[in-house]
Amino acid sequence: MAAPLHISISAEKIFSFGGFPVTNSMLTSVVVSGLLIAFAVWVRATLKPTNRPTGIQNLAEMIVEALYNLVQGVTNNTEKTKKFFPLIATFFLFILLQNWMGLLPGAGTIGFKDAEGILVPYFRAGTADINMTLALALISVASIQIFGVTYLSIGYFSKFINFSNPLNFVVGLLEIVSEFSRIISFAFRLFGNVFAGEVLLVVMTALTKIIAPMPFYGMEIFVGFIQALVFAMLSLVLFNIATIGHGEEHY
Amino acid sequence: MDIQFPQILFQIINFGVVAGALTYFLYTPVKKVLDDRSKKVEEGQKAAEASIAEKRQIDELRKKIIKDAEKEAAKLLEEATQAATARKKELMAKAKEEATANAAAEQQNKMDEVAALKQTIKSQYADAVVAAVEKIGMSIDKKVQTQIIDSELDQLLQRIA
């Protein structure tokens, strides 16, 4: 008889490091970070000022150029693009790899059994952990405020605190609420999509074992890409809006 | 859901480290390579455009030179034709003149020869007539005889001519 399905909405603790609990999503995060940094170092070490790039340099150039053009297409301002690009590109690559790591064979299936006999996998997609998505959402929303203040100085806060008339004051309060709601929407959109995808795959695999889950794997690869793009694009648009003064917005 | 602030902090630091490393090792150097290449391509494009413009100018200059040369050639040809025509006319006129002069001289020669011949014939004829008259024993005035003979010969030559 097949083992009963166990789905945990939270990341599971694998071990403790100096009293600090290390979860499987944190381990995946560290692995993804290591892979990204190793890739970057490899690219840096083999980078040549050639007109005909090959291999890893070709791939790196393609990724950097595509993401840079994406950012430039939204900002239409080279100065802003240079400031936003590193963060947006890292959001995209980091989230994309986190999403896809959860689809690799072994993720969610190789682990150890805890005291209750429940499998605790060593790897779980980082974005299938609310702590990770909250962290990303906090970085994004904090960056929005930082960019807003950088470009508009103290005037940026006039959209939150405005005593010019009662209506503007109420709108300012709503803006404050909307900033906080962004954290929740960023975090839960990404977490919900990735976690739901993992649950779907677990259920389909438990039901049919082979062949039938494959289309869902394909779909999850696509969803992983789309969610990374959505997070990066939303952050980019909000960065850009934050840098445009009151009454200057162009939608 | 188990929200743990230490884990959130860990993930923020982790992301920060990745962002910093990617910016230092990936984005900045790759972007620099891309910018340098774009610059090079742009310079190459500008040079190519300048070369095309230069070639166009040279082509235009070449066409102008050819056109000018054609004009010059046509002008020279026209002048040469005119000079040749004038020279031809001049030579023709000269030749005609020479021919006329030659013909006149020739005619004069012929007339001189005819006159000389006529004189010879007259003289011989008169001598023959005088000799014939003397032979038959008659005498004749040579002067009168010569006049008669001249008159007769003139009539005869006119008939011949």
Q: Name residue B129's amino acid.
A: V
Q: Report residue A17's pLDDT band, with 50, 70 and 90 as the boundaries.
A: confident
- The least confident of A9-23, A51-65, A137-151, B131-145 is B131-145
Total-model pTM: 0.74
Query: Tens digit of pLDDT for each residue in A233-242?
Result: 999 999 999 9
In terms of Cβ atoms closer than 10 Å to its own Cβ (0-12, 13-18, 19+), residue A43 is buried
φ, ψ for residue A54 (rounded to 5)?
-130, 165
Confidence (pLDDT) at A251: 43
φ, ψ for residue A160 (rounded to 5)?
-95, -40
Q: Determine, for residues B22 and A86 on separate chains, whether the beta-carbon distance falls below 8 Å.
A: yes
Q: How many domains in chain A? A: 1
Q: Determine, for residues A138 and B8 on separate chains, whether the beta-carbon distance falls below 8 Å.
A: yes
Calpha distance A89→A83 (Å, rounded): 11
Q: Which residue of A has its CA nearest to B1?
A: A10
SS3 for B115-140, per residue?
HHHHHHHHHHHHHHHHHHHHHCCCCC
- Beta strand A20-23 with A111-113 is unpaired
| Among A residues 43-62, those touching chain B with beta carbons less than 8 Å apart | 43-44, 47-49, 51, 53, 57, 60-61
For residue A247, being part of any structural domain is answered with no
Confidence (pLDDT) at B36: 92
> Residues near A162 by Cβ (< 8 Å), separated by ≥ 6?
A168, A169, A171, A172
Confidence (pLDDT) at A1: 43
For range A177-196, the mean pLDDT: 93
For residue A87, being part of any structural domain is answered with yes
For residue A1, being part of any structural domain is answered with no
Asked if A23 has any chain B CB less than 8 Å from its own CB, the reply is yes
> Residues near B123 by Cβ (< 8 Å), separated by ≥ 6?
none
Confidence (pLDDT) at B161: 65
For residue A117, being part of any structural domain is answered with yes
Q: Determine, for residues A26 and B1 on separate chains, whether the beta-carbon distance falls below 8 Å.
A: no
CA dihedral B7, B11, B16, B17 (to 10 degrees): 100
Angle at A183 between CA B4 and CA A91, to 5 degrees: 90
**Residues in chain A closer than 8 A to B1 (CB atoms):** 9-10, 130
Q: Name residue A167's amino acid.
A: L
What range defines the domain where residue A32 resides?
Answer: 13-242
Q: Report residue A140's pLDDT band, with 50, 70 and 90 as the boundaries.
A: very high
Domain residue limits, chain B: 5-160
Query: Tens digit of pLDDT for each residue in B31-50?
Result: 999 999 999 999 999 999 99
Confidence (pLDDT) at B148: 79
In terms of Cβ atoms closer than 10 Å to its own Cβ (0-12, 13-18, 19+), residue A141 is buried
Q: In this predicted model, which residue has the larger pLDDT, A240 or A51? A: A240
> Residues near A144 by Cβ (< 8 Å), separated by ≥ 6?
A179, A182, A235, A238, A239, A242
**Residues in chain A closer than 8 A to B6 (CB atoms):** 20
Calpha distance A97→B105 (Å, rounded): 123
Q: Determine, for residues B2 and A39 on separate chains, whether the beta-carbon distance falls below 8 Å.
A: no
